[in-house]
Amino acid sequence: MDSLLDNPQPKFSDSHHASTSTHHIHLNERGNRLREDSLLLIRGFDSVSHTLSLLSSNLDNALQSTRELGKPPTLTDMFQSKIVESEKNEEKEKEESKKGVKRKIDEFYEENVAETQTENGQKLHDKHIKKAKNLAVSMASKASSLARELKGLKSDLCFMQERCGLLEEENRRLRDGFAKGVRPEEDDLVRLQLEALLGEKARLANENANLMRENQCLHQLVEYHQHTSEDLSESYEQVIQGMCLDFSSPPRTIAEEEDDDGDDEDSV
């Protein structure tokens, strides 16, 4: 008891020193773990930034190559939409990395980017195919409406041809009966009516020829869009090879030649 009363301080100091050293050891271990976690997270961020820079450079190269090759506007829109989607994916991956992705972040990011690019490419492909199909359907409907209109014009033309034949026969009878006392004013009136009908016949024939040319152009456009909808990856030269649009002027109709001959006879 006397010894304890005489020397109370050393034992107290030893126990206090032991607890202090244990606390320092725990603090050092915790600091080491935090440093290791920080280094691991920094390496993950570096790998993410490197992968993002590679992805952006690849997209820039792809866009530059498309500009050099002179692709159609649809392909340019496709690459622009891919760039927008990749930027959105980059922002999404940055947010995910900030939330605490520590291990195997490179592998996870590459898999995610590959899947996202595949899905976006499929969506764009389906979108362009849908546009081409809609355009082909609209062109086919327009071609069918023009075909119906052309059929109606053909029936009108047949009716006008029959009427012109009847009027020519009547004109011939009037000319034959002119020597028998037919009045000249009646002959002039019939001749004017016949000339008007011949002019209408020529106009309808010309309009019929124009509609036939337009119908042919529409059929060619429908075939072109069907080719593009089958395979959008084909080059522009392969798609339009062997296809041309006929915009030449229509040949002269028989009615126009008859009008020219009639004018020559009147002048004589």
pLDDT for res 263: 55
Give, as one character, the DSSP assignment of residue 26. H
- Positive or negative, the CA dihedral 51, 57, 61, 62 is positive
pTM: 0.26
Other Cβ atoms less than 10 A from the Cβ of 255: the count is 21
The mean-pLDDT minimum among 136-150, 209-223, 242-256 falls in: 242-256
CB-based burial, 135-169: b 16+ in 10 Å, e otherwise: bbeebbeebeebeeebeebeeebeebeeebeebee
How many Å apart are CA 30 and CA 23, to the nearest integer?
11
pLDDT one-digit tens code per residue, 7-65: 444 444 455 555 677 777 777 888 888 888 888 888 888 888 888 888 888 888 887 77
pLDDT at position 109: 65
Give the model confidence (pLDDT) of 55-67 as tens digits: 888 888 887 777 7
What single-letter amino acid sits at 98? K
> What pLDDT does residue 84 have?
73
Distances from the Cα of 38 to the Cα of 32, 93, 106, 266, angstroms: 10, 19, 17, 105
User: What pLDDT is stored for residue 41 in this prediction?
Assistant: 85
What average pLDDT score do residues 112-122 get?
72
The secondary structure of 182-236, three-state, reads CCHHHHHHHHHHHHHHHHHHHHHHHHHHHHHHHHHHHHHHHHHHHHHHHCCCCCH
Among 198, 212, 196, which residue's Cα sits nearest to residue 161? 198
- What does 63-120 look like in DSSP terms, one character per residue? HHHHHHHT--HHHHHHHHHHHHHHHHHHHHHHHHHHTT--SSHHHHHHHHHHHHHHHH
Count how many Cα atoms sit within 13 Å of the Cα of residue 235 in the half-sphere of its side chain.
6
DSSP state of 176: H
pLDDT at residue 10 in the model: 47
pLDDT at 247 over 60: no
